[in-house]
Chains A and B, each alone.
Chain A
């Protein structure tokens, strides 16, 4: 992989701490999970653990996880894009831009336990919003089948970190949309729709798709938020894996590793799609 020439000028030696760390704390643990997925309970290697994943209840957990990730990535992506554009376009006051980008920088890292509770305080059974709707507008959410503590609830809460993440990652691309392009299109008689159809969206598309893939991975990997919100009742893959290690259901630890392996496969596929998109998006950067 690395040529002898590069070895000779020794430049890459300075990167050794990074590669060593990556090996010790990323590859070694990942390798142990991947190998574990193919180990039998009584030793030896087997495909049995992975085969089980395609049956109830594991396959359903994957479906739920993928659905939640897809829904929040798409919704977060679309609303995030619209919000980012609204905040960054000309005519919007500078302070709006500052607030949105700063807040996104923070909110993308809101998550887990406090976020789950913020929504319990808002839309939970005795949440402020729930009570307000019930008392003031006579809309009883929970009587109409709504619950925060299921799949829909998890999606609503996930959007709180998906949206700002989208704003953060798409903002540079939107900034890259040259004002001159818009003016040129306008001078040539293009309508706003035509500008977006033939210039704006095609330029932004790789960035948008790349960002949505990031969002998907972000939701797919999340554990703490759903765990805290639903007390582990929503069967997402991470929750299932967590239950194997925190609960007393360790009859076959390799099954949990197989579940983890399944997550790898889904997320690795996402990564493979992300890299060429990122490369295409970079074309317009300078």
Chain B
């Protein structure tokens, strides 16, 4: 075995295969989106202007973005204190929390929504009939695994005990320690979890569809069924949204010199 100089040929092979598989559908969707709705020929931006002139586009986009924000805030409020305490005081609970946070991988959204609709059908309409109630509650559950994995990795990468003891021996209270000492140290992990959650909420279809809330993905599906070329434009916009969320995450991380931590968290 020789010392490695340059890229190995097998590496080229796998990177090219995977790269092509990742790239071709994006390129094809782009070319598709430029075709004219009347002639099916290239090239026009009509599909994009069509989308931007739909009132429902802006309306559902706003609903989904607000939903994502709400989901992120609730998830962080639930997970940051929990994981902090588990790491600091009750490490033996960590497998339990990990197991519970993993369950949403085991409970598919299609099953979850059936159960949620069944349990909460009779509840007040401010909860049941509102996306901010019912749907947000379900989305927090969807965010569980991502929140846990990111934040747990974040907490594992810092020395929770030393930081807490240092903070407290300087006279800080528990809330001060959590907000001023711990939070800045797991900021990149929390951001990573937040941007992942944003991506999930902006793409979630199953639960929104079965509980009949007008979210952005349901708007995309409605266009898919009716308008082929604008649907391609909309698909790309949706991808760009996810992509933008991740890129801004990277930029925020780089400025602070925590790029590696962000990448770890982003996984």
Interface residues of A (CB under 8 A from B): 6, 9, 11-12, 14-15, 17-19, 21-22, 24-26, 28-33, 36, 79, 82-83, 85-87, 89-93, 96, 98, 100-107, 109-114, 116-122, 126-129, 159-160, 163-164, 168-169, 171-172, 182, 185-186, 190-192, 195, 214, 217-218, 220-224, 227-228, 238, 241-242, 245-246, 256-257, 260, 263-264, 267-268, 270-271, 275
Complex: how many Å from CA A126 to CA B84?
53
| A118 in contact with B246 (CB, 8 Å) | no
| B108 in contact with A223 (CB, 8 Å) | yes
29 contacts between A and B (CB under 8 A): A12-B89, A14-B89, A15-B86, A21-B78, A25-B138, A26-B104, A33-B111, A86-B15, A89-B8, A89-B11, A93-B7, A101-B267, A102-B246, A109-B242, A112-B203, A116-B224, A121-B231, A122-B24, A126-B40, A128-B28, A128-B31, A128-B32, A160-B22, A217-B106, A221-B110, A245-B117, A246-B209, A260-B111, A268-B106
One of A29, A93, A118 near B115 (C-beta < 8 A) = A29
Instruction: Identify the closest chain B residue to A79 (Cβ).
Output: B18
A contact residues around B235 at 8 Å (CB)? 113-114, 117-118, 121
- Max chain B CB contacts within 10 Å: which of A14, A103, A242, A271? A14
Complex: how many Å from CA A267 to CA B15?
32
| B114 in contact with A33 (CB, 8 Å) | yes
Question: Which positions 14-33 of chain B face chain A at CB distance < 8 Å?
Answer: 14-15, 17-18, 21-22, 24-29, 31-33
Choose, from B48-56, B61-69, B95-103, the stretch at the interface: B95-103
Q: Write out, one digit per residue, whether chain B residues 233-267 have a CB within 8 A of any chain A CB (1) or not (0).
A: 01100110011001100100000000000011011
A contact residues around B239 at 8 Å (CB)? 110, 114, 118
Complex: how many Å from CA A119 to CA B196?
23
New A-B pairs, 12, CB < 8 Å, besides A129-B28, A172-B264? A22-B100, A25-B137, A26-B103, A28-B115, A29-B119, A33-B111, A89-B8, A106-B243, A117-B231, A128-B27, A260-B114, A271-B105
| B242 in contact with A91 (CB, 8 Å) | no
One of B15, B88, B199, B263 near A83 (C-beta < 8 A) = B15
| A92 in contact with B108 (CB, 8 Å) | no
Q: How many residues in B have their beta carbons less than 8 Å from beta carbons of A?
A: 92
CB distance from B173 to the nearest CB of A (A): 14
Complex: how many Å from CA A217 to CA B103?
11
Contacts A30-B115, A83-B18, A89-B11 hold; do A117 and B217 have CB atoms under 8 A apart? Answer: no
Contacts A17-B78, A21-B140, A160-B25 hold; do A29 and B242 have CB atoms under 8 A apart? Answer: no
| A91 in contact with B93 (CB, 8 Å) | no
| B114 in contact with A245 (CB, 8 Å) | yes
